Structure 1
Amino acid sequence: MQLEVLLSDDCAKCVQHQSGQCQLDTQGKFYCAKNKRSAQKLELGIALPLFSIIGLLLILWRCKAKRGIVLSSNPEPESCSVYFGVPVFSYKDLQVATKYFDPSRVLGDGGFGTVYYGKLKDGREVAIKHLYEHNSRRLEQFMNEVKILTRLRHVNLVSLYGCTSYHSHELLLVYEYIPNGTLASLLHHGSSRSSFLPWPIRIKVAIETATALAYLHASDIIHRDVKTNNILLDNSFCVKVADFGMSRLFPNDVTHVSTAPQGTPGYLDPEYHQFYQLTSKSDVYSFGVVLIELISSKPAVDMSRHKDEISLANLAINKIRKGAIGELVDPFLGFESDSGIRREIVMVAELAFQCLQRDRELRPSMEEVLEALRRTEIGKEEAEISHGDVLSADDDEEEMKVLNGMKATPSPKAVTDKWDSESSITPNISSQSTNQSNVDVRISSLNLEKMK
């Protein structure tokens, strides 16, 4: 049963608008009795929540400002808020640092933005990446790079100095400035540029790059865009690996992550491209291409080459299988004239051959690659100590120990020997170059026999 009570218009106005009570006088006539206490309660009931809401909003605003979410008005990066542990710069400050993004200050263009040279108010030289506005994934790339670089600290990884607010319309990342530019620019811009990179510097670059990648993999991170354009060199030719926009945090309890292939043509792991399965071995494949670039000074992709050799990886595999490593090597490096350099280049070429296997299970891990590269330096020291020794012509088994060390399942496409840190080739440096050529041919021949 429902009971409905209808109030008169006067009574309704009394209750709703005058906060009073409907009463009758002694003559039975209606009047609106005012209740001062009720009116005060009503006013307080409205005012207190309103003040509480305003206070709460002020507290939230201040907290957000401290965490770097409301940032664009902060003029000084040193005194402003932080985002994921790095200072947040105002867009205006970075405009001034780059002279309003002067085209003459462009250091390079990438897949996600243009990099400018800049100078901060405190005198620091910086490289500022301005992410493209038309890139629909730029916020994802921006946040990905910030998160990864703030959790990693390594001498061979580029340092992130700060960024703009991720709420800003303009997304910018501020890095330390690396004065010698990219490895690609030093390798591929004519003999006058590549002459700055003799073989000792190139093997140093290979070792330091492998060190950085091994550190990333140990931190469960896959770089996913390893290439010579992302390897920077400072004034001492020390390596700084850069560009983590496509990097992926890799769960340590899984063998691979299914994801659409991303990377640069010429460096992209063919198995990742075919099966959409990303693993740390994808970085290993890309690094194998980098090793061949260091040996040859040739770009990863060159449309002017024969159609079967447009990809440097294919070109290298063909030359190594034929035992023609010398045809792959940059003549500037002294492959024909220096037996020590010849020995190291042969070792690096064979290591690159393993990294470039189509089957990822046959590729070494980055840690194994690093150990193998370090052995080239150990072998060099041993060769200098044993400088008067002559390599026996029939000691093929001993020669092959130089190319050992990678654990791989036997395959007709792979070098399957393990590296042995206890032995190395120690040729007589004063011996004739023809004898050394015979050594290299025997090494390649033995590998070919094993591949058959």
Structure 2
Amino acid sequence: MRIAGSSRATIGVIGALNSLLLLATALAGPIALPGCPESCGDVRVPYPFGIGQGCFHNGFNLTCDETQHPPKLFLGDGVEVLNISLPDCTVRIQRNISWSRHAEFNGSWSVPAPAGPLRVSSARNSFVAFGCNMVAKLIPYSTLGPITYSSICAAVCSETLSGSSCSGVGCCRTSIAPVKGDLPSYGVQVKHLVGQSDYVSDRAVFIVDQDWFSINEAEMASNFTKLQDYYENIVMVGSVPVVLEWSLDIVRDEGLFVLSPMGPGSSDFRCLSSNSFSYTIDGNYDKRRCNCSHGYEGNPYISDGCQDIDECQLPDIYPCHGICINLPGAYRCSPKKGIRSLPGLVTIIAISAGFGLLFSILGAAKITNTFKQRRAKNLRQKFFKRNHGLLLQQLISSNKDIAERTKIFSLEELDQATNKFDQNRILGGGGHGTVYKGILSNQHVVAIKKSKIVVQREIDQFINEVVILSQTNHRNVVKLFGCCLETEVPLLVYEFISNGTLSYHLHGQSENPLSWKDRLRIALETARAIAYLHHAASISVFHRDIKSANILLTDPLIAKVSDFGASRSISVDETGVHTAIQGTHGYLDPEYYYTSRFTEKSDVYSFGVILVELLTRITPIFSSRSSESMSLASHFVSLIRENRLSDILDSQIVEEGGTTDAEVVARLAEACLSLKGVDRPTMRQVETTLEDVQSSEVHHKSQITRVTQNVTKDQSYNGNKSSEGTRLYSLEKEFIQSSEIPR
């Protein structure tokens, strides 16, 4: 494997920055011991690191290969050193990636020997895995053996990869659990993801500098996707940078090592250079680091290493609009000579008086503003607690994956993003709130949702939506970026979906009606998202408000399921929940209405209504010729059982030659709309049937038979039961027209 072009460019930029830093600190004093080399190629080598005997502290020896052009610096057994930072106490190295085609394997990752004082920086690195249908685990090993907790991530693959980030499809990344004490090695374990198909692919797990990976993540994920599709001339990264930390052990023998007591019997320790100070690492008193005091710069680990900065030579960093005078560790800026004449003195006095009056006014305004800010702060804290902010913080802090995906925004950020929630920024509204378009300070476009009603039930639904979406990761489920809790009405921040709702494209005034091919794909993507919520998410979720207005479409018409305010998470041993009747007119499951018991089949019923909308482009509640309100679901099933699909099928589908596929989808919709939940298919069965229709791998008669077999055992789809179906759906029609469904 070779490093891709952008990776080399990144390393080149870092080398250039190191050169500038070397030039800036050259005037501050020596960085290596006397007579020892201070650099190797473009990499500077500060003590306690060193090249050659007598030039390094114990465990910090490096080698410089001058046969290469430019020369390269190496640590231990041939591991390249990219740069060394004294202020951060870090060493950046380059490590190879090992790729494997084994479904499961065990390995290890260790600091290059001799490890000495070096350890992996959990704060600066990430654990990354490339592969399909796999679970990767990074297990820390301390000097006393394996530690009970570890870093885990999982990656799945569908038939078609479209990787642009390591979000769990073909690639995943997670943070590294911090460990106190020495940690020279990790165990690496890769296993097949239970319940997923045996997807043959290259697999690799590695530790990587998270800043570097964030820059190269999209390119690596894209190259991996192309590699699985057998593209030619695809080059994967062969090695990646890793950040190691280091510190020094205290040795109470002055003159031998860097740290020594300040005096006989002293409990504090000083670094060897004057004008420097030491500090502990992770609360471990015996492991310390050194740094130059403020106003000084250089190497605190050697005698006279910290030298005074001449601030007067750096006006861009230390501005002075008068006469600059350098002082030890500081500088003074004296005003230039003033005019000594009487008119000039009068002018100065007048200006000073004016400024004095102005400052008095500003001071009074500032005091008033301070009181206002304090009241506003107290009010924000009150709202934060009332909006279950402490509960949400606890959820985020207890789960690192959620913490990486979910951010708690401040009210100030969202005020700026929406121009103080300008009415012109409103995108739309649902039963659970109003949605605004926002532009964050990083120019990222988002959708910001504000709840409509300030009651406890709405706040609970808000927290419910945050909890569910923060644990959900699917390309067809709208992504939650974070939330704001500092307002009376909680706010949610989503990815911005630019192309409106499925309802608008089917029933609105869209100039470009959806083609039958697009409708089929949207139905399949929606089914995949609901099946994921029911069966594949970490916690099974019943959406409870599936409707075309909650299916958002991107510019390329990719479906995104949204609005989880009414959703409920279900434990593995539950099949349903008893709740107050809640839903949307025309989509409500009749069985749920009569029993108050919501099951996964209730979502299936609502999805069946969406299928009928896609087939007919008729709203779920429509007016008949006699101006009577009718249920689309009951009317559609009556026509299907009388073999009259053509009477209601959208003419555009017929014109595009989709009648054959439409008949299969119609039978599937009829099954989903069964009055009894037990007679309906699961969303996985629905997903499988729609995949067959889209790929046209099965003859349409076989597809109809498959739908029938998957859904019912004794139910017939012939016309001989049409009268019974009509009677049952007449009952449904009766309660729909006589009931106001609460939202």
TM-score (norm 2): 0.42
Q: State how 1:370-385 maps to structure 2 within 5 Å.
A: 370-379=687-696, 381=697
Partner of 1:272: 592
Partner of 1:148: 468
Query: How much does 1:103 deviate?
Result: 1.4
Give the Cα separation in 1 of the matches to 2:519 and 2:721: 25
Q: Does 1:169 align with 2:169?
A: no
Partner of 2:680: 363
Query: How much does 1:206 deviate?
Result: 0.3
Q: Does 1:196 align with 2:500?
A: no
Query: How much does 1:309 deviate?
Result: 6.1
Quickly say closer, same or farther: Cα 1:248–1:331, change in 2 above 3 A: same
Query: How much does 1:305 deviate?
Result: 5.9
Q: State how 1:338-357 maps to structure 2 within 5 Å.
A: 338-339=656-657, 341-357=658-674
Q: Does 1:213 align with 2:525?
A: no
Amino acid corresponding to residue 315 of structure 1 in structure 2: H
Amino acid corresponding to residue 316 of structure 1 in structure 2: F
SS of the aligned residue for 1:232 comes to: strand
Partner of 2:710: 406
Give the Cα separation in 1 of the matches to 2:650 and 2:569: 37
Query: How much does 1:280 deviate?
Result: 0.2
Of 501, 514, 520, 1:182 maps to 501
> Conserved in 2, the CA contact under 8 Å of 1:180 and 1:234?
yes
Query: How much does 1:105 deviate?
Result: 1.5
Higher relative contact order (CA 8 A, sep 6+): 1
> Conserved in 2, the CA contact under 8 Å of 1:207 and 1:373?
yes
Query: How much does 1:402 deviate?
Result: 6.2
Query: How much does 1:254 deviate?
Result: 2.6
Quickly say closer, same or farther: Cα 1:398–1:157, change in 2 above 3 A: closer
Q: Does 1:256 align with 2:576?
A: yes
Query: How much does 1:222 deviate?
Result: 0.3
Q: Does 1:139 align with 2:443?
A: no
SS of the aligned residue for 2:606 comes to: helix
Amino acid corresponding to residue 298 of structure 1 in structure 2: I
Q: Which runs of 5+ in 2 are unaligned?
A: 1-379, 385-392, 397-402, 727-743
Quickly say closer, same or farther: Cα 1:305–1:249, change in 2 above 3 A: farther
Of 641, 645, 651, 1:321 maps to 641
Partner of 1:46: none
> Conserved in 1, the CA contact under 8 Å of 2:637 and 2:725?
no
Give the Cα separation in 2 of the matches to 1:345 and 1:446: 22
Root mean square deviation, CA, Å: 2.9
> Conserved in 2, the CA contact under 8 Å of 1:97 and 1:121?
yes
1:32-65 deviations in Å (ceiling 9; x for gaps) = xxxxxxxxxxxxxxxxxxxxxxxxxxxxxxxxxx
Give the Cα separation in 2 of the matches to 1:141 and 1:130: 12
> Conserved in 2, the CA contact under 8 Å of 1:105 and 1:116?
yes
Query: How much does 1:377 deviate?
Result: 2.0
Quickly say closer, same or farther: Cα 1:127–1:237, change in 2 above 3 A: same
SS of the aligned residue for 2:710 comes to: coil
> Conserved in 2, the CA contact under 8 Å of 1:372 and 1:405?
no
SS of the aligned residue for 1:406 comes to: helix
> Conserved in 2, the CA contact under 8 Å of 1:347 and 1:402?
no
Quickly say closer, same or farther: Cα 1:89–1:447, change in 2 above 3 A: same
> Conserved in 2, the CA contact under 8 Å of 1:210 and 1:369?
yes
Query: How much does 1:350 deviate?
Result: 0.6
Amino acid corresponding to residue 301 of structure 1 in structure 2: I
Give the Cα separation in 1 of the matches to 2:383 and 2:423: 27
Amino acid corresponding to residue 181 of structure 1 in structure 2: G
The runs of 4+ residues in structure 1 deviating greater than 3 Å are 68-72, 133-136, 303-309, 397-405, 444-452
SS of the aligned residue for 1:129 comes to: strand
Higher-helix-fraction structure: 1
Q: Does 1:296 align with 2:613?
A: no
> Conserved in 1, the CA contact under 8 Å of 2:604 and 2:683?
yes
> Conserved in 2, the CA contact under 8 Å of 1:348 and 1:373?
yes
Partner of 1:9: none
Give the Cα separation in 1 of the matches to 2:426 and 2:549: 15
Give the Cα separation in 2 of the matches to 1:295 and 1:196: 13
Query: How much does 1:371 deviate?
Result: 0.7
SS of the aligned residue for 1:109 comes to: strand
Aligned length: 329
Amino acid corresponding to residue 495 of structure 2 in structure 1: E
Q: Which runs of 5+ in 1 are unaligned?
A: 1-67, 73-80, 384-390, 392-396, 416-443
Quickly say closer, same or farther: Cα 1:350–1:217, change in 2 above 3 A: same
> Conserved in 2, the CA contact under 8 Å of 1:82 and 1:88?
no
1:107-134 deviations in Å (ceiling 9; x for gaps) = 1111121001111111111110011144
Give the Cα separation in 2 of the matches to 1:147 and 1:305: 46
Query: Between the two proteins, what is the percent identity of the paired residues?
Result: 38
Give the Cα separation in 1 of the matches to 2:703 and 2:672: 21
> Conserved in 1, the CA contact under 8 Å of 2:661 and 2:693?
yes
Give the Cα separation in 2 of the matches to 1:135 and 1:324: 48
Give the Cα separation in 2 of the matches to 1:271 and 1:139: 28
Give the Cα separation in 1 of the matches to 2:532 and 2:675: 24
Amino acid corresponding to residue 174 of structure 1 in structure 2: V
Query: How much does 1:445 deviate?
Result: 5.2
Amino acid corresponding to residue 662 of structure 2 in structure 1: I
Query: How much does 1:401 deviate?
Result: 3.4
Higher-strand-fraction structure: 2
> Conserved in 1, the CA contact under 8 Å of 2:638 and 2:722?
no
> Conserved in 1, the CA contact under 8 Å of 2:516 and 2:656?
no
Quickly say closer, same or farther: Cα 1:177–1:372, change in 2 above 3 A: same
> Conserved in 2, the CA contact under 8 Å of 1:309 and 1:315?
no
Quickly say closer, same or farther: Cα 1:445–1:359, change in 2 above 3 A: closer
Query: How much does 1:283 deviate?
Result: 0.2
Q: Does 1:98 align with 2:418?
A: yes
